[in-house]
Structure 1
Amino acid sequence: MTAPERSAPLVTLLQLQRRARQAGTPQALGFVAVNETLQLVAYRQAAMWTATGLGQVMAVSGPPQPDPQAPYIQWLAPLFRHLMREATPAGEVVIGALPETVRADWASWLPAHALWLPLPAGDRPAAAGLLLARDTPWSPHEIGLLGELAHAYGHALDALQPRHPWREGLAPLLRKRKTRRWLLAGALLVSLCPMRLSALAQAEVVPFEPFVVRAPLDGVIDRFDIRPNQPVQAGTPLFSLDTTALRARLEVARKAVDTAQEEYRQSAQAAVTNDKTRAELVLRRGKVQEKSVELDYTAEQLARVQVKSDRAGIAVFADANDWIGKAVTLGERVLLVADPARVELVAWMPAADRLPVSPGDTLTLHPQGAPMQSFDARVESVSYRAEATREGFMAYRIKASFRTDQPLPRIGQLGSARVYGGWAPLIYVALRRPLSTVRQWLGW
């Protein structure tokens, strides 16, 4: 054999190693392994397996991509799983040592002599393998060449896998019993660390002891003299009721008074000569007084149609257009006059997140639209039972007063309030909601 003939396999081996390094995907590498390895040694069939995920046949000689549902691929899968599970070293496959289900159909799918080549990845166990099959036995020289090529294929396949450095470093540590004990002790210690119970609740800043402006009588609101959140002083006109009906009643009352007075005058003149008319004089006088009272009452109502503020503050209501033209009844609340320097917090703690909160505990308001702001408050009262909120869930109403050493939020500010309760182990804080849900579901 001449020198070029002796060096030809080595040149082919180097070329295949280069082709493996140039492969851009695991599928491209699999195609090279099962098809182009034929340049180095002769074989009839080849298949490549990877243990990634649940394991799969990555490539077979011939088609560019294997069909997972094909009977040949379905038969190869248990064969590869057995070889990987038993950590079979490189060499010819001993058919007699295979499982019965695989051994029984061997002749239907593969030739008599198959060479198994694990694809190592550095110092880690092989996560893939290459199977080459033909009708003649494999020589030691061929097995040596293919062993070197398998090492290159394994290195290239490992380089194409996604990197998980922290997982790779953690796995050897977890195999040590002492490390597992320390981790378990650390987890137990952390789970027993005390943490303060807390819950989030919807919250709103409301005025403290505001002046409620009510409708002075039945009627229809005619106009508003102020805007929402407008500062007002004592005596500032707020809104007025429609006076059409009252003016008509006042005119009717005046006519009735005039009529009663005229009847009384006529009765007084006739009483000089007629005793019977003198007896009716008292009734006529009473009727005059009755109609006068009705006139005064109607005039008083007409004077009350314009509502004025009794104190200084800001007008708290949504929109004047919501009220203009609306019929109101006596005593119906129309708006509030509040002092912006006197506010409090109302929070709604969901019944599912209920904590043992009592007056004197603290909570923190995180207003919407201001992620860098927060306001501390002190709980003043907690409702004894849950009630339905505007959003439709059951919650406990909490009232709290703001600390005086901080700026006060504006009236109407919405946000989330973090309510703080007592202290409990971390494991209880983490499992409180799941345990509550499981308990409700199981009924214990």
Structure 2
Amino acid sequence: MRSTASILHLDLDAFFASVEQRDKPSLRGKPVVVGGVGARGVVSTASYEARKFGVRSAMSSAEARARCPHAAFLGGRFDAYREASGIVMARLRELSPVVQPLSLDEAFVDLAAGDDFDPERVEELVEELRADVTRRTHGLTASVGVASSKLMAKIASEINKPDGAFIVQPGTEADVLGPMQVTAIPGVGPATTERLRRLGVATVEDLRRFTADDLGAHVGPTTATSLYRLARADDDRPVEASRETKSISVEDTFETNLVDRVQLTAIAEQMARRVAQRLRANGLSGRTVTLKVRYHDFETHTRSTTLTGPTDHGGVLAATARRLLDAEDLGGGLRLLGVGVSGLADWVQDDLFSEPEPEEDLVPLPSRDERARRRGWSPGQDVTHTEHGDGWVWGSGLGLVTVRFETRESPSGPVKTFPADDPALSARASVSSVEP
């Protein structure tokens, strides 16, 4: 345990939904749900306005619609989310070279690894950070916790959420943690909570009455040891910065769910060939090929296979990716597809008589606009119209698409409906959120 509060945890508030509200003036202050918009969809993020109606992450979209039918249900724009995340992570690296991202909207920072860290200025540092995040991302907010351990920093970031901060002073960790529900401890899910409830454990303080051996009989020895330590705020895990790249991959999130297997196969093969290009450019090869798919409901699967030897051959990787995709049930469609190679080496063990992959085989992938036209328009998608300008898809169906014409910088805009194949309407890249 550290003697200073020098581990920071930042969590962007209702991240996906907040980005949508930032970029869509008509949705500010209103319920927004991001996730699968189909009958079998799952909520990824709900705005705080939607949470008041009981909408939560991982809830089915059908239940979310029943609880909050007047919410805006959007399919998600991962380009915009990745861009905003990149801005925040870059700001965190100004504090310290040791930043451990946990997801697009969450990261740990080892403040003590920074050149100018002053334990006496932590509160000032946190307020400067939160203000910078809001300014650089044009309005997003973050909740921040600082403590002597990763456990307490993460818990601290929840205390004054949203748009708040809390600093756990060294020596007060057990006092802060004790009154909290036992679910505040990472890893305590519904099953463990129920087993602990049968023991009369509701709070962390209740949990401290038991020895590790006592707990082991009910939750297993490994879990018991972890619970015993964490209940006492005993956590010496280091913040781990990004490690050396161990794989090379290409992936793409589609504006609308793709269901055509022929089209997806072509995309996977081209991704594999681009991975091969990057391998050759870096003088590398790889043995393990991984296919990543994310379904319409945000469920993510990976399939891998290991070759007999490392390769940088595009044809070999493309054929392998195709076989992996053939084993996938496309169901309601894919929103993300990726191909990666790991088990990297600086030598190749291919057929000595095989020909190198010709560069001309690497044809462009279908454009964002082409994919949108093939599969329809997704709620929330950024579009532009030659006459009316920039806007976003309000909804579509029956051969029509409805667009609200507004941007982050504009007031709430008008709504117009067009034929779904209107040549004047096209998809556009998400608006840049980089500072001028």
Q: Shorter-chain-normalised TM-score: which range?
A: under 0.3
Q: TM-score, normalised by structure 1?
A: 0.17
Q: Which has the higher helix share?
A: 1
> Which one has the largest radius of gyration?
1
